[in-house]
A and B are shown apart, each in its own frame.
Chain A
Amino acid sequence: AQSVSQHNHHVILSEAASLELGCNYSYGGTVNLFWYVQYPGQHLQLLLKYFSGDPLVKGIKGFEAEFIKSKFSFNLRKPSVQWSDTAEYFCAVNAHNTGGFKTIFGAGTRLFVKA
């Protein structure tokens, strides 16, 4: 069965620290990969996505993610976090099956950035 694993459930950083959130998936076929963010009191928003091409994907607000196929990973990074990055981050995998496609979400990582 397909699954998405996010390694950290809670992360606390100080402003200007670097961020890396891990995401691994289990699926042997073609996948599309996403990172979503949910700010406090708001709904899910797309941060970035990978479909094909350059495995290093740039997203909004200075975020980027790297798809490493051999490691089944799609880690999210930001060189210098800000207080406004406090949110919950979800990795998601969209896997193509014979019946169509289905998006599976990781459990999420809550990031708290101290001012």
Chain B
Amino acid sequence: GAVVSQHPSRVICKSGTSVKIECRSLDFQATTMFWYRQFPKQSLMLMATSNEGSKATYEQGVEKDKFLINHASLTLSTLTVTSAHPEDSSFYICSAKASGVSDTQYFGPGTRLTVL
């Protein structure tokens, strides 16, 4: 089946620093990737939709200047949390949708971000 990887799986950073999270589709080309945030004991909240070669579409309430998304190729999207603060600590999950007719998303394992 389709595999999506994320790197790093865990990151701890100091407040004010920036953190980059990578999302890769390993065995398929992903025209669309999604970034979610999952708070403890809550569901996934869509942050943004990333299409290869174009600007990401952010959900209402998500700061685009704080959560920078780059979808540079059909297999890679990156999320950069800029000037991270403790309230940005969360579990970030990406998913990828292959080009074609299926609306099935394949999820990465997630990245646990802790901002001290």
Residues of B3-55 whose CB lies within 8 A of A: 34, 36, 42-46, 49
- A contact residues, total (Cβ < 8 Å): 22
In the bound complex, residues from chain B placing their C-beta under 8 Å from that of A102 are 46, 49
In the bound complex, residues from chain B placing their C-beta under 8 Å from that of A53 are none
A107 adjacent to B43 (CB under 8 Å): yes
- Given A43-B110, A105-B44, do A51 and B103 touch, yes or no (CB 8 Å)? yes
A32 adjacent to B110 (CB under 8 Å): no
- Interface: A104 (CB within 8 A): yes
A46 adjacent to B104 (CB under 8 Å): yes
Residues of A4-21 whose CB lies within 8 A of B: none
Q: A101 is contacted by which of B36, B45, B95, B103 (Cβ under 8 Å)?
A: B103
In the bound complex, residues from chain A placing their C-beta under 8 Å from that of B107 are 36, 43-45
- Interface: A75 (CB within 8 A): no
Q: Digit string of A90-115 for contact with B (CB within 8 Å is 1, else 0)?
A: 10001000011111111110000000
In the bound complex, residues from chain B placing their C-beta under 8 Å from that of A49 are 103-104
- Given A49-B104, A90-B44, A108-B43, do A103 and B34 touch, yes or no (CB 8 Å)? yes
Residues of B47-106 whose CB lies within 8 A of A: 49, 57, 93, 95, 103-106
In the bound complex, residues from chain A placing their C-beta under 8 Å from that of B36 are 105
Q: List 10 A-B contacts (CB under 8 A).
A: A43-B107, A44-B107, A90-B44, A100-B57, A102-B46, A102-B49, A103-B46, A105-B44, A107-B43, A108-B43
Q: Chain A: residues with CB nearer than 8 A to chain B?
A: 32, 34, 36, 42-46, 49, 51, 90, 94, 99-108
Given A44-B95, A105-B43, A108-B42, 15 further pairs, Cβ under 8 A: A34-B104, A42-B109, A43-B93, A43-B107, A43-B109, A44-B93, A46-B104, A46-B105, A46-B106, A49-B104, A51-B103, A90-B43, A103-B34, A105-B36, A105-B44
